[in-house]
Structure 1
Amino acid sequence: MTNFRPVDPSLNPRFAGIRTFMRLPYNKSMENVDVAILGVPFDNAASYRPGARYGPEAIRSASPLVRTYSYQHQIHLFEYVSGIDYGDVPVIPGDIHETYNRIERTLTPLFEAGITPIVMGGDHSITLGELRAANKIHGKLALLQFDSHADVGDVHLGQKYTHGTPFRRAVEEGLIDPDYSIQIGMRGSLDGPEEIEEAKELGFQVITADELFSMELNDLISTIKNRVKDTPVFMTFDIDFIDPAFAPGTGTPEVGGVLSREALQMMRGLTDIHFVGFDLVEVLPLYDKGEITTSLAANLMFEMIALIAVHKRKNV
């Protein structure tokens, strides 16, 4: 059976056609599918800049220039995975709980079918709905979080469900096992030390940006793998993990982050991990410059697909 793959650019120029991610076929069928790209255009739980609802659209528009071969992994991705663009979850602006329900209803059949979803946000609140769906099928998950904020607050502006609280809620709901979870990249000024200390008290391993910059890449990769072990892993990548010089299009920018090159190198090292789902959140096109944020987001998602393809190649 032929894999679903992007349009051949030698037959149809990259600037042509209806925008899907990497020009993958838009498809709602789950037959012969390994990877499904979805958008969750929801940003009502953001605390500062609005506009991440336009992230999926903008990432799709920037993605046709992403090719299909990984030189670092020496692999043609779509020889090993069959991928589709599954469209967007029909979110309800202003209603986070019904949006969570719809995320869960949309993703659960994909997990049941053995498909790995890669979700484009939206603000970081959406990850809670994704974790609810993944947990139904895979049980307690290890969370691998690249972010400048820990997002383990309890209440913000009187609300318990915001983009600053999803991982406390995920621990409370038993969706993730913090003893196998790790948060990487926390930095910047804080309202108090509890923003980091509470994550540690919940059981997360936390690698702050200062600690990250003192580590060799191989040490970081080993630390991640030793933490998650063989547990099913959900990776969540907040684009504000990247320094705003390289990713200005985001809702809560924090200076002093990693370079885009460094982030890509980190992603490429994450082979031999049992990934069951991914997301990339907090892309806000209004503040982007020359599509540098959306282009980076699309390439980070390419690296996520590459990790799935490498895993499939090992098991052929």
Structure 2
Amino acid sequence: MTKKYQPANSFESPRFCGVRTFMRLPYVQTTDNVDFVIAGAPFDTGASFRVGARFGPGAVRDFSILLRPYNPEQKINVYDYLSGVDYGDFPVVPGFIEESYKKIEEGLAPVLEKGVVPITIGGDHSITLAELRAVAKKYGPVGLVHFDAHSDTWDSYFNQKYNHGTSFRRAYEEGLLDMNRCIQVGMRGGLYEPADLDDARQMGFDVVPMSEVQAMGIPTVIERIRRRAGDGPLFLSFDIDFLDPSFAPGTGTPEVAGATSTEALQLVRGLEGLNFVAFDLVEVLPSFDHGQVTANIASNVIFEFITLLAMQKKKKEEALVHASHTENY
């Protein structure tokens, strides 16, 4: 495939020049010659406490101009293998969650139909239900790797079925998930009752509270995720409040005793080789983000998502070369 779409060269054009796109990728709404797209879903009126995550996609893009294409930890230049664009934002409808769901689904449909991997920036976590609906239409029920301080499996909030605390219960009820391959990591903080997490387990989620993450250690957690995820198509959903507020203060419902930025990156890097067909990162709230601390880690997590795709593409290309050599002998 022609590697057509790559970031602007910051040796030739200063990072502060041009329209803000993720990592200075071209702003093109196309799926031709593209491996992945970055898209914004700036909907935040499904939030139960602070609002303002509608400005999250812009904040993450704004900081992402500092990212460079070579990942030294994974030893790969991602754009040697990938072509990607910033697809812009889906035209959500503030205050109208079900109409916004339709807009997000419609926006994702042509991307997924072409086999392109969407990486969506929220917005609050209510947007993930719309993404999972779109993904399931293409791939059927998918596995889920979910990093978060909250399980988001409440039945309702304020007697409403759709908000950022109910996304994964609705996904379970709608049959969008392969429950044998779903895992939630990082849950912590006070609950209304023990059933808040017990319900998630009864639905079939493997729930790993943050206290268990800290007791087991990151390598063991990675192995647990990998065993659970299996070989089929996967969705990765990353709520920025998975991190401790000292590393990600700019979010709507922060919880103490979360992951460090180093731990978060280690966990994502450890998922290399899994079959991810879509990603999202949600709940970045810039008005509480002093010094762009949260936008910094959010943009780096997304870069690690892209790196996972690059490593997957590299392996496929190497396998083809190996097969070709084998045939010639």
TM-score bin (small chain): over 0.9
Cα deviation digits, residues 192-232 of structure 1 (max 9, x gap): 11111110010000000000001132211111111010121
Counterpart in 1 of 2:271? 270
Cα deviation digits, residues 280-302 of structure 1 (max 9, x gap): 00000000010010011000000
Q: Secondary structure at the match of 1:253?
A: coil
- Measured in 2, the distance between the counterparts of 1:190 and 1:158 equals 18
- Measured in 1, the distance between the counterparts of 2:98 and 2:3 equals 39
Cα deviation digits, residues 127-153 of structure 1 (max 9, x gap): 000000000011110011000000000
Q: What code does the residue aligned with 2:203 have?
A: L
Cα deviation digits, residues 233-252 of structure 1 (max 9, x gap): 00000000000000000000
Q: Secondary structure at the match of 1:178?
A: strand
1:290 aligns with 2:302: no
Q: Secondary structure at the match of 1:132?
A: helix
Counterpart in 2 of 1:299? 300
Q: What code does the residue aligned with 2:188 have?
A: R
Counterpart in 2 of 1:110? 111
Q: What code does the residue aligned with 2:197 have?
A: I
1:121 aligns with 2:119: no
* Conservation of the 8 A alpha-carbon contact between 2:241 and 2:255: yes
TM-score, reference length from structure 2: 0.95
Deviation at 1:57, TM superposition (A): 0.6
Deviation at 1:160, TM superposition (A): 0.3
* Conservation of the 8 A alpha-carbon contact between 1:43 and 1:51: yes
Q: Secondary structure at the match of 1:234?
A: strand
Taking the TM superposition and a 5 Å limit, the aligned residue runs for 1:190-269 are 190-269=191-270
Counterpart in 2 of 1:49? 50
Counterpart in 2 of 1:83? 84
* Conservation of the 8 A alpha-carbon contact between 1:3 and 1:79: no
Counterpart in 2 of 1:151? 152
Counterpart in 2 of 1:38? 39
Cα deviation digits, residues 18-41 of structure 1 (max 9, x gap): 100000000012100001000000
Cα deviation digits, residues 110-165 of structure 1 (max 9, x gap): 11101000000000000000000000011110011000000000011010001000
* Conservation of the 8 A alpha-carbon contact between 2:37 and 2:86: yes
- Measured in 1, the distance between the counterparts of 2:181 and 2:131 equals 18
Q: Which runs of 5+ in 2 are unaligned?
A: 318-329
Q: Secondary structure at the match of 2:56?
A: helix
- Measured in 2, the distance between the counterparts of 1:203 and 1:274 equals 20
Cα deviation digits, residues 58-115 of structure 1 (max 9, x gap): 1111110011111111111011010100000000011111110111111011111010
Structure label with greater radius of gyration: 2
* Conservation of the 8 A alpha-carbon contact between 1:179 and 1:203: yes
1:67 aligns with 2:68: yes
Q: What code does the residue aligned with 1:52 have?
A: A
Q: What code does the residue aligned with 1:271 have?
A: E
Q: What code does the residue aligned with 2:297 have?
A: L
Q: Secondary structure at the match of 2:65?
A: helix
* Conservation of the 8 A alpha-carbon contact between 1:3 and 1:78: no
Counterpart in 2 of 1:95? 96
Q: What code does the residue aligned with 2:63 have?
A: A
How many percent of aligned residue pairs carry the same amino acid? 51
Aligned residues: 316
Q: What code does the residue aligned with 1:233 have?
A: L
- Measured in 2, the distance between the counterparts of 1:211 and 1:178 equals 21
Deviation at 1:3, TM superposition (A): 2.8
- Measured in 1, the distance between the counterparts of 2:293 and 2:17 equals 20
Q: What code does the residue aligned with 1:88 have?
A: D
TM-score, reference length from structure 1: 0.99
- Measured in 2, the distance between the counterparts of 1:154 and 1:9 equals 48
Q: What code does the residue aligned with 2:190 have?
A: S
Deviation at 1:270, TM superposition (A): 0.6
- Measured in 1, the distance between the counterparts of 2:227 and 2:67 equals 31
